[in-house]
């Protein structure tokens, strides 16, 4: 794959579209002169050598790969003919069949990067249509590897579930961080100290989990076996419904993703 690949990002002026653009440029997947971006209000001046347009069909016509980075609720109004081209959607909920029908191509992909793409740490699950050739799959892998890590999954149901699990990006860790910070501040810690303590804890835990081979559940059981302060906290959190709350939240996200696909 060379820098001659032409990529168009519908919604390129948005946060996610711009983040993916920066990632593929940094990885050398595309040259800026072969990058087309559409916008509604104004272009992103971070990409001065890209082709900027408000005409989405003009973007499609001069692209080999078309990435759809608009809000799902805005997609029904997006009328573009991408006949024969590779179309990659990063919109939650929109089904492969709907993408194929609306954009007149069999080469379609559903993917769901998250906000950590900004620091090259996104986890991106994706699935392609049955007609997707291996060359297209290689392009998809390279695009999303430039944003972090990626996995091709076996069903759209898996994408719908992962929309809630990993599509959340930093939202769930941020929720835990906020709760822990609030408690620390309530116990007299300075706000900056509380933020640094909790953020460092979560970043370090993430790196440790990534490096170690144990299942996270085994690590929890190890701490429980010490019968110390951490065990006391874990037992109280569980008794207060921590795991049930997590399951219920993920179930709500999964249901929302499924319903979004049905209405599309």
Summarize pLDDT for 9-43 with one digit per residue, the tens.
Answer: 999 999 999 999 999 999 999 999 999 999 988 88
Superfamily of domain 7-163: NAD(P)-binding Rossmann-like Domain (3.40.50.720)
Q: What is the mean pLDDT of residues 202-219?
A: 93
Query: Could you give the residue range(s) of every CATH 3.40.50.720 domain in the chain?
Result: 7-163
Q: Which of 63, 12, 64 is nearest to 40 (CA)?
A: 12
Query: Could you give the residue range(s) of every CATH 1.10.3730.10 domain in the chain?
Result: 171-263
Q: Say what the alpha-carbon torsion angle 111, 168, 196, 179 is, to the nearest 10 degrees.
A: -170
Q: Which residues contact 163 (CB under 8 A, 6 or more apart)?
A: 92, 93, 112, 253, 254, 257
pLDDT at 150 over 80: yes
Determine the CATH number of domain 171-263. 1.10.3730.10
What's the whole-model pTM score? 0.90
From its phi and psi, is residue 42 left (phi > 0), alpha (psi between -120 and 50) or beta?
A: beta
Structure-token match 């370090």, residue found: 204
Q: What is the mean pLDDT of residues 243-248?
A: 96
């Amino acid at each position: 794959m060379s820098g001659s690949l032409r990529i168009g990002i519908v919604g390129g002026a948005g946060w996610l579209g711009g983040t993916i653009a920066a990632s593929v440029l940094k990885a050398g997947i595309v040259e800026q002169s072969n990058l087309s971006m559409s916008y509604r209000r104004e272009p992103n001046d971070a990409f001065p050598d890209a082709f900027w347009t408000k005409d989405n069909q003009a973007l499609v016509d001069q692209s080999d790969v078309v990435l759809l980075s608009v809000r799902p609720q805005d997609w029904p109004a997006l009328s573009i003919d991408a006949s024969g081209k590779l179309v990659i959607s990063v919109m939650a909920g929109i089904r492969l069949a709907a993408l194929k029908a609306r954009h007149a191509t069999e080469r379609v992909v559903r993917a769901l990067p998250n906000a950590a793409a900004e620091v090259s740490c996104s986890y991106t699950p994706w699935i392609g249509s049955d007609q997707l050739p291996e060359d297209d799959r290689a392009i998809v892998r390279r695009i999303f590897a430039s944003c972090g890590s990626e996995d091709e999954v076996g069903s759209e149901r898996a994408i719908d579930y992962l929309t809630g699990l990993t599509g959340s990006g930093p939202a769930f860790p941020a929720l835990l961080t906020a709760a822990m910070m609030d408690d620390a501040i309530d116990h007299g810690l300075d706000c900056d100290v509380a933020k640094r303590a909790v953020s460092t804890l979560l970043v370090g835990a993430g790196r440790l989990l990534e490096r170690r081979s144990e299942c996270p559940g085994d690590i929890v059981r190890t701490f429980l076996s010490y019968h110390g302060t951490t065990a006391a906290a874990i037992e109280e959190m569980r008794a207060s419904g921590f795991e049930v709350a997590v399951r219920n939240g993920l179930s709500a996200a999964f249901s929302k993703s499924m319903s979004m696909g049905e209405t599309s």
